[in-house]
Amino acid sequence: VSIDVETEDVNLLDAAARGASQGVTLALNIAGMLIAFLALLALVNGILGIAGQAFAATDGMLRLSGAIVAVLV
């Protein structure tokens, strides 16, 4: 089995620069996903907080996460 890999890099410096560029792009993508995940958690917490105020329960996300963990354990 032979694998043909075409390289776009001409020298060591070019390869290092390309690797650094790909690393920064990956880190920014991960940071963006974490920000989006935390924003979704804040949205769910806000919705549960508003719904909890209607039923006089102020610890919405805490109670929900406790119930989920209790089922898993």
Summarize pLDDT for 13-57 with one digit per residue, the tens: 999 999 999 999 999 999 999 999 999 988 988 887 787 777 766
Q: Decide if 1 is inside a domain.
A: no
The verdict on residue 30 lying in a domain is yes
Contact 19, 27 (CB under 8 A): no
Work out the average pLDDT over 1-18. 87
Instruction: Assess if residue 5 is contained within a domain.
Output: no
- The answer to whether residue 6 is domain-embedded is no
Q: Give the number of domains in the chain.
A: 1
d(CA 47, CA 60) in angstroms, rounded, equals 9
Instruction: State which amino acid sits at residue 42.
Output: A
**Would residue 20 count as lying in a domain?**
yes
What's the chain's Rg over C-alpha atoms? 23
Higher pLDDT, 30 or 59: 30
What's the pTM?
0.62
- The residue segments making up the domain with residue 31 are 12-72
- Is residue 45 in some structural domain? yes
Task: Kindly tell me the sign of the dihedral angle through the C-alpha atoms of 30, 32, 33, 39.
Answer: positive
* Structure tokens, 21: 């560029």
